[in-house]
């Protein structure tokens, strides 16, 4: 089935040449007949001899039927569609139409041959100067039509000319004088010369036919090879594109399960099979468990929930590094539960180890419902896919582990600190008896310093996570305005406590942006809290979230606070930097807030600009691309 | 007085346990302490307390949760309210590796979360509210 289709495709590819040449043939005929008539006129003009009248008439008839062919090309289907079709699309013509094109070529060539023969007859038969023109037809046939047609026309010429000579020799047909015989050619010769001339002509024609068809055949073989190569290239190109898409999709996953589900779904799609699975290995227990399944029923996977590697020789071999490929499940007696496999409709399968270097993570399998579905190149491609999937899994795991380590370290640092804070609270709240004023003040200072240490640890953690690009947040559409609205009460309370007026202007109709709520939360908190913190009581903070003129999400915080000195601008986003006036205004502050903001902006592809005048206030503006 | 309420504190941080003990004893609660999940479970078996204050991360990252789940599965201990004290915010559990994912799929086996550092007033008001509600139910 596929073979037949491929054959037609290949034929269509070669027939393209025929289709391109047909109008060219018509154009060529205008020139040939036109030149013929011009030649007659020139002969008359220079030599004052009239050309044979039938010859002139033939030339006119040629022009006439060429007009007819031109009209067919222009107005009769399927030819008329062809002229509107760009060349690259000629493969769209179907096989039946190709036959029409071929017939049209035969019609033109045979008509030409007939009229050329008549012209030769009326201008001196075998001695006519036109008799060599047969070669052109043979070459044209050789180019346009299959080799057999080329020889067929060669034989027709051989028969036509032979019959003519015989008829003339037997005086059954009149001999016309050779055109231009007085000056250029002569037919003053005997019978032997006629035969020699005849056979020379026929030899030339047949040799030409042979050369043209041989050259054409060898070109066609090369063309066919090229076609096959381009098809293979096409296939591997689309496979690689699919693989790239697969890796890209896996790279966006923030959780191993989602990553593996994406891998199995994509692998089944790209390989064109019914199912795919990933089993992960638990090294301590020596078991394999299904971690992701695509296209297999629950019944099938449930019975193999946990596979003991020691007992399953197939899985053991795969983990040791060999490819397990079964072309026909029925033919091999490998399986513990062949019934299950049959019931699932699996006919062939390949399983490969999922590994990074020498470390095996598990087993990756694809299942087909056709026997002998997997070819060598298929298996190789699947191996590539499996290696890439293993790398992505490992990368994500490493990322999660590092992330986890950072969080764990932060927890370990904060735990004792929280205990200290709890103990200080007991002291301050008088659970251990009353304190004098100096004791109370000292405890208060201890408390303040330790709370600063706590926020420093939180900020450091946040920063190192985003700096190492370890953020587990997958970006998804987020409505920033909803988030800001929900947080606004918190900032209002903060501002009220400090005696600062705060106003929000939020465009509620904004579309979503690709982000994560946590990132926006951090961004809003850092910038708004900063504004409140560095604005004296009685001052104002204005927060706006709108759509900018450049169609971007615009977040702006303006305050009437202490402002930023000019010399601080270059280091504003550096870690641990705090401007001198900020330090003297308040002790609290880690100097990491704006560094975190910058990291968030990098992640969300946003931009930030700061305008400020010392003593008058600051305006921070961020822009984000809308979705 | 319907007897002194018995509260069990389970935390591996002895200083913190001591602080909480001071706070609770000032309000005349009966306080028992345990420094790990196993010890805690033994004390619950010996005598079920009226309320448990439980830490999340002890020897293992999920020791507190594991104990809480175990108790919720046992009918005789299912109704003991648990206040979970942690400097391990919920968001972190959501982001942690797979070992935490199974926890999130189910409902939290806990009556209340209280974030460390513990605020004495907050802790006392939470405990009081839970115990009053429980008394009403009974």
Question: Do A368 and A414 fall into the same domain?
Answer: no
Let me know if residue A355 belongs to a domain. Answer: yes
Note whether A403 contacts B: Cβ–Cβ < 8 A: yes
Q: How far is A420 from chain B (nearest CA, A)?
A: 8
Angle at A302 between CA A298 and CA A306, to 5 degrees: 140
Question: Do A576 and A602 fall into the same domain?
Answer: yes
Question: Do A344 and A267 fall into the same domain?
Answer: yes
What DSSP character marks residue B5? P
Question: Do A382 and A455 fall into the same domain?
Answer: no
What DSSP character marks residue A143? H
Last residue of a domain, one of A467, A496, A525: A467
Question: Do A125 and A144 fall into the same domain?
Answer: yes
Question: Do A483 and A601 fall into the same domain?
Answer: yes
A-B interface: how many C-beta pairs under 8 angstroms?
Answer: 63
Could you tell me which residues of chain B have a Cβ less than 8 Å from any Cβ in chain A? 13, 15-16, 19-20, 22-23, 26, 57, 61, 87-88, 91-92, 95-98, 116-121
Q: Which of B15, B97, B98 sits opposite A423 (nearest CB)?
A: B15
Residue of chain A whose Cα is closest to the Cα of B25: A431
Say whether A309 sits in a helix, a strand or coil: coil
Q: Which residues of chain A have pLDDT under 70?
A: 1-15, 82-96, 180-190, 332-337, 465-474
| Distant-in-sequence, close-in-space partners of A442: CB < 8 Å, separation ≥ 6 | none
Q: Which of B96, B98, B117 sits opposite A425 (nearest CB)?
A: B117
Question: Do A333 and A421 fall into the same domain?
Answer: no
Question: Do A130 and A152 fall into the same domain?
Answer: yes
Let me know if residue A241 belongs to a domain. Answer: no
Note whether A432 contacts B: Cβ–Cβ < 8 A: yes
User: What sign results for the dihedral spanned by CA atoms B6, B11, B12, B17?
Assistant: negative
The reported pLDDT for the residue numbered B88 is: 60
Note whether A422 contacts B: Cβ–Cβ < 8 A: yes
Q: Decide if A69 contacts A103 (C-beta within 8 A).
A: no
The reported pLDDT for the residue numbered A183 is: 47
The reported pLDDT for the residue numbered B24 is: 94
Let me know if residue A101 belongs to a domain. Answer: yes
Contact B118 A403 (CB under 8 A): no
Let me know if residue A560 belongs to a domain. Answer: yes
Q: Beta strand A513-515 with A540-547: parallel, antiparallel or unpaired?
A: unpaired
Q: How far is A513 from chain B (nearest CA, A)?
A: 22
For residues B13 and A416, what is the distance between their CA atoms, to the nearest angstrom? Answer: 8
Let me know if residue A238 belongs to a domain. Answer: no
Contact B13 A419 (CB under 8 A): yes
Interface of A with B in 453-472 (CB under 8 A): 472
For residues A478 and B49, what is the distance between their CA atoms, to the nearest angstrom? Answer: 45
Residue of chain A whose Cα is closest to the Cα of B89: A411
Interface test with A, best of B17, B87, B119 (most A CBs within 10 A): B87
Contacts of A426 in chain B (CB under 8 A): 19, 22-23, 120
The reported pLDDT for the residue numbered B29 is: 94
For residues A541 and A495, what is the distance between their CA atoms, to the nearest angstrom? Answer: 9
Note whether A434 contacts B: Cβ–Cβ < 8 A: no
Long-range contacts: A6-13, Cβ < 8 Å, 24+?
A8/A95, A9/A91, A10/A224, A10/A227, A11/A95, A11/A98, A12/A90, A12/A91, A12/A93, A12/A95, A12/A98, A13/A91, A13/A223, A13/A227
Residue of chain B whose Cα is closest to the Cα of A421: B117
Which domains are delineated in chain B? 6-118 (3.40.50.2300)
Let me know if residue A395 belongs to a domain. Answer: no
Question: Do A273 and A410 fall into the same domain?
Answer: no
Contacts of B116 in chain A (CB under 8 A): 414-415, 418-419, 422
For residues A109 and A90, what is the distance between their CA atoms, to the nearest angstrom? Answer: 23
Question: Do A16 and A164 fall into the same domain?
Answer: yes
The reported pLDDT for the residue numbered B5 is: 92
Last residue of a domain, one of A390, A419, A437: A390
Contact B97 A408 (CB under 8 A): no
Let me know if residue A242 belongs to a domain. Answer: no
Residue among A414, A472, A516, A402 at smallest CA distance from B89: A414
Say whether A561 sits in a helix, a strand or coil: coil
Say how many domains are in chain A: 4
Contact A425 B97 (CB under 8 A): no
Q: How far is A493 from chain B (nearest CA, A)?
A: 19
Let me know if residue A262 belongs to a domain. Answer: yes
Last residue of a domain, one of A368, A390, A412: A390
Here the CATH number for the domain that contains residue A302 is 3.30.450.40
Helices marked H in A305-433: 313-319, 338-343, 376-428
The reported pLDDT for the residue numbered A7 is: 58
The reported pLDDT for the residue numbered A79 is: 77
pLDDT, one tens digit per residue, over B60-82 is 777 888 898 889 888 999 889 99
- Per-10-residue mean pLDDT for chain B, 138 residues long? 84 91 92 94 94 86 84 89 75 44 54 83 92 85
Question: Do A463 and A551 fall into the same domain?
Answer: no
Torsion angle of C-alpha atoms A216, A221, A225, A226, degrees rounded to 10: 0
A328: left (phi over 0), alpha (psi -120 to 50) or beta: beta
Residue of chain B whose Cα is closest to the Cα of A403: B96
Note whether A401 contacts B: Cβ–Cβ < 8 A: yes
Q: What is the mean pLDDT of chain B?
A: 82
For residues A85 and A376, what is the distance between their CA atoms, to the nearest angstrom? Answer: 40
In terms of residue numbers, what domain contains A578? 476-625
Q: Which helix (H) or strand (E) holds A12?
A: helix A2-47
Contact A422 B61 (CB under 8 A): no
Q: Which helix (H) or strand (E) holds A553?
A: strand A552-559
Contact A426 B88 (CB under 8 A): no
Question: Do A355 and A405 fall into the same domain?
Answer: no
């Amino acid at each position: 089935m596929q073979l037949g289709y491929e054959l037609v495709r290949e034929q269509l590819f070669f027939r393209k040449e025929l289709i391109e040449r047909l109008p060219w043939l018509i154009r060529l005929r205008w020139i040939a007949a036109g030149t013929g008539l011009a030649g007659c006129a020139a002969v008359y003009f220079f030599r004052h001899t009239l050309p044979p009248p039938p010859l002139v008439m033939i030339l006119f008839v040629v022009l006439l039927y060429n007009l007819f062919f031109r009209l067919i090309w222009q107005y009769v289907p399927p030819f008329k569609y062809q002229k509107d079709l760009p060349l690259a699309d000629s493969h769209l013509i179907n096989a039946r139409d190709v036959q029409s094109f071929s017939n049209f070529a035969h019609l033109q060539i045979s008509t030409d041959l007939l009229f050329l023969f008549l012209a030769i007859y009326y201008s001196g038969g075998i001695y006519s100067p036109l008799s060599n023109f047969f070669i052109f037809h043979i070459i044209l046939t050789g180019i346009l039509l299959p080799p057999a047609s080329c020889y067929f026309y060669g034989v027709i010429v051989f028969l036509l000319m032979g019959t003519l000579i015989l008829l003339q020799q037997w005086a059954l047909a009149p001999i016309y004088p050779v055109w231009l015989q007085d000056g250029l050619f002569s037919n003053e010769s005997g019978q032997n010369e006629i035969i020699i001339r005849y056979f020379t002509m026929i030899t030339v024609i047949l040799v030409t036919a042979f050369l043209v068809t041989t050259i054409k055949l060898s070109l066609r073989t090369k063309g066919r090879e090229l076609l096959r190569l381009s098809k293979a290239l096409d296939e591997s190109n689309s496979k690689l594109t699919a693989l790239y898409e697969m890796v890209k999709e896996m790279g966006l996953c923030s959780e191993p399960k989602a990553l593996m589900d994406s891998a199995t779904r994509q692998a089944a799609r790209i390989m064109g099979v019914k199912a795919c699975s990933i089993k992960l290995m638990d090294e301590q227990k020596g078991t394999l468990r299904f971690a992701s399944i695509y296209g297999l029923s629950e019944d099938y996977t449930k019975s193999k929930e946990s596979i003991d590697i020691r007992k399953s020789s197939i899985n053991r071999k795969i983990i040791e590094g060999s490819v397990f490929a079964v072309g026909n499940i029925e033919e091999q007696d490998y399986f513990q539960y062949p019934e299950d496999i049959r019931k699932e409709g699996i006919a062939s399968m390949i399983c490969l180890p999922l590994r990074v270097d020498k470390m095996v993570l598990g087993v990756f399998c694809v299942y087909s419902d056709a026997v002998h579905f997997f070819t060598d190149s298929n298996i190789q491609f699947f191996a590539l896919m499996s290696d890439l999937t293993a790398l992505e899994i490992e990368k994500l795991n490493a990322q999660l582990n590092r992330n986890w380590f950072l969080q764990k370290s932060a927890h370990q640092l904060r735990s004792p600190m929280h205990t200290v804070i709890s103990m200080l609270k007991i002291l301050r709240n008088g659970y251990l008896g009353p304190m004098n004023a100096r004791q109370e003040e000292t405890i208060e200072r201890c408390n303040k310093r330790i709370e600063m240490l706590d926020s420093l640890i939180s900020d450091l953690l946040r920063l190192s996570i985003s700096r190492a690009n370890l953020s587990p947040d997958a970006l998804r559409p987020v409505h920033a305005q909803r988030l800001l609205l929900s947080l606004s009460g918190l900032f209002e309370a903060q501002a009220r406590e400090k005696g600062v007026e705060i106003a929000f202007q939020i465009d509620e109709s904004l579309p979503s942006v690709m982000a994560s709520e946590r990132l926006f939360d951090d961004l809003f908190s850092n910038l708004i809290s900063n504004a409140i913190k560095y604005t004296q009581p009685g001052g104002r903070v204005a927060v706006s979230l709108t759509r900018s003129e450049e169609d971007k999400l615009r977040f702006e915080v303006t305050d009437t606070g202490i402002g930023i000195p000019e010399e601080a601008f270059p280091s504003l986003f550096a870690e641990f930097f705090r401007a001198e006036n900020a330090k003297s205004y308040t002790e609290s502050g880690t100097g990491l807030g704006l560094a975190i903001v910058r990291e968030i902006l990098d992640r969300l592809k946003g931009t930030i600009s700061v305008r400020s005048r010392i003593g008058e206030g600051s305006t921070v503006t961020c822009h984000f691309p809308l979705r | 007085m319907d007897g002194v309420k018995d509260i069990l504190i389970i935390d591996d941080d002895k200083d913190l346990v001591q602080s909480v003990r001071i706070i609770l004893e000032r309000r005349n609660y009966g306080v028992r302490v345990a420094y790990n999940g196993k010890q805690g479970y033994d004390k619950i078996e010996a005598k079920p307390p009226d309320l448990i204050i439980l830490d999340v991360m002890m020897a293992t990252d999920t020791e507190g949760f594991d104990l809480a789940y175990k108790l919720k599965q046992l009918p005789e201990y299912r109704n003991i309210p648990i206040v979970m004290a942690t400097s391990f915010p919920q968001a972190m559990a959501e982001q942690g590796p797979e070992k935490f994912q199974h926890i999130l799929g189910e409902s939290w086996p806990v009556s209340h979360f209280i974030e460390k550092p513990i605020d004495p007033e907050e802790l006392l008001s939470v405990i009081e509210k839970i115990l009053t509600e429980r008394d009403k139910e009974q």
